[in-house]
A and B are shown apart, each in its own frame.
Chain A
Amino acid sequence: MDGALIIAKGIHKSYPIGRGKRHPAVKDVSLELYKGETLALVGESGCGKSTLARILMRLTEADSGEIYFDGDQISGLAGRDFRPYRRRMQMVFQDPASSLDPRMKVKDIIAEPLKTWHIFDNKAEILERVKELLDMVELKESALERYPHQFSGGQKQRIGIARAIALEPELLVCDESVSALDVSVQAQILNLLKKLKGELGLSCLFISHDLSVVNFIADRVCVMRGGMLCETAETEELYANPRHEYTKYLLSSIPVVPGMQGA
């Protein structure tokens, strides 16, 4: 691993909950995401993992704290100055159905970021790139002219991934990207993410509540609870040797699927 892609220092974020009170969603979180690694944020609903990820991408502004992307401080950068960094970080969302525009054809959905950034001069080049991206996410070319509703959940998520990697980002943020999928399809998408990560040299922030999914995909894991990181460790170490009481509790709660010989 060579250096940190994202460094966050002392991130704090709270939301107003009425009567002048504020609820702290993220409390004094500091973390580093190294180049080429998959860092997982795990925790139960409401623990602040999505808020933290959105802050790191600057989709939500933190109350205080500093964020560095590839060595440059990006917290506090104004719109125009921040824009070049936007394209270097992309997101894959949880619900593939609501994150694709139902009235756009697949080719337009995937081409949209390319057009926004004026990557190519003409339509033919854009189409070439879209085809290439479809191939990367293992969809057929016949998908081009179809609409999102004509695809299954897993295929929609592939389209979302193609859109996310269209600009060759350095960081891919996956917010519960496989949680809405059936097990047999979830495995396909997890494999795809792992493959793409290797091929494209992506760094990945993987948000999930599912500890067995995280175990498969992550290099390091941050366990969050109540807006704070309670444990950060290498994946193998965390599962073999959880230190924090909460991590132990989480791990003991997973319903175990009895092993199968030769699987």
Chain B
Amino acid sequence: MSNTLLEIKNLTVSVEKAGRLTAIVKGVDIKVPQGKIVGLVGESGCGKSMTAKTINGILPTAAKITDGAVLWHGNPNTETDLARLSEQKLRKLCGSQIGMVFQEPMTSLNPMMRIGSQVSEALLIHKLVQNKKEARAKTIRLLDEVGIPEPELRYRSFPHELSGGMRQRVMIAMAVICEPKLLIADEPTTALDVTIEAQILKLIKKMCDAYSMSAIVITHNMGVVAQICDYVYVMYMGRIMERTTVKRLFERPLHPYTRGLLASIPRIGKNPEYLQTIPGNIPEIGKEIVGCEFCLRCSDDERACFFEKPMEREIEEGHFVRCHTA
């Protein structure tokens, strides 16, 4: 595919736990097409954040990439494997071409630095502007664009003077100031109130369109996926269980896990006596399961589910499922 910006191939990430390696991301394949928003959805501990962190090399020290490649097609006619790049090169590339927004805007901003200097820092480091004056002008323009009122005044504010929603806007400004080709947003709205969440999602979508950016949005919220994503990958216990377009996923979810997940969301307008649930709990990280990772909680289990890992199958065009029974 010529217009794929980023391709994660057979990525496996392991952590060392009590002297042995445990895989927490298992053979993950993800394609991010140019200008599209890809959703990575799953419950806590499923490995979605770890997958994203391999892209710009910010895995925690205990975790290692044990297999696979992260292929970057950001520059024409070249292919760079981010997983094998030296830290220096990775930093140069990621800083300007890949932006990241984290969940907690308070802890990811420097409390001792003024908003303006934090946002413009990357511009100066990557020498994308001639001088500080230019950096300041560009930062103020961008602060205005992400919807911060009185950007000139706010340029001199400290993070604690802003509300959570405003801080997240600053984070987004910081992530896109170098006009990156890819934005990675890790639970960008989870810490925010629902009214602010709606505003921030709109903003992310707007920025992607304005700068023809691609994005990976990591979330546990199917509503967020439905709102802004084009493609969706459903993860469970380190594995991609289902992947397709957002439209197809909601029209015809095929994996029992996806179906269970969708059914257990309380919905306004439907009021059942009891909600549908997925029985059991998410197994502990590192638990070895011989068959399908989901077999212990699945409703349509067959013999094969317990003894054999299902391969990914294309059920309809562009709709892949890792399940024996789907």
Contact = CB atoms under 8 A, between A and B. Distances in A.
Interface of A: 44-45, 152-155, 182-188, 190-191, 194-195, 209-213, 215-216, 236, 239, 249-260, 263
Nearest to B44: A182
A212 B274 contact: no
B201 A255 contact: yes
Kindly list the 7 A-B residue pairs having the minimum CB-CB distance in the complex, ordered from nearest. Answer: A255-B223, A187-B264, A44-B193, A182-B43, A216-B266, A258-B250, A253-B198
Nearest to A198: B273
Contact of A260 (B259, B266, B274): B259
A257 B250 contact: yes
Contacts of A213: 266
Interface in B252-293: 253, 259-269, 271-278, 281-282
B209 to A, nearest CB: 18
B271 A184 contact: no
B194 A211 contact: yes
A22 B43 CA distance: 41
Contacts of B44: 153, 182
A195 B274 CA distance: 9
A153 B224 CA distance: 23
B277 A187 contact: yes
27 contacts: A183-B264, A185-B281, A187-B266, A187-B277, A188-B277, A194-B273, A195-B274, A210-B194, A211-B268, A212-B268, A213-B266, A215-B267, A215-B268, A216-B266, A216-B271, A236-B271, A249-B195, A251-B268, A254-B194, A254-B223, A255-B201, A257-B265, A258-B251, A259-B250, A259-B267, A260-B250, A263-B276
- Most chain A beta carbons < 10 A, residue from B198, B265, B266: B266
Contacts of A250: 194-195
Interface residues of B, number: 41
Contacts of B282: 152, 182, 184-185
A134 to B, nearest CB: 16
B266 A212 contact: yes
Interface in B190-225: 193-198, 201, 220-224
A215 B277 CA distance: 17
B93 to A, nearest CB: 33
B138 to A, nearest CB: 31
Given A187-B276, A216-B271, A255 B221 contact: yes
Contacts of A211: 194, 268
Given A253-B195, A256-B226, 10 more contacts: A44-B196, A183-B220, A185-B282, A187-B276, A187-B278, A188-B277, A215-B266, A216-B271, A255-B198, A263-B262
Contacts of B325: none
A252 B222 CA distance: 16
Given A250-B194, A257-B262, A190 B275 contact: yes
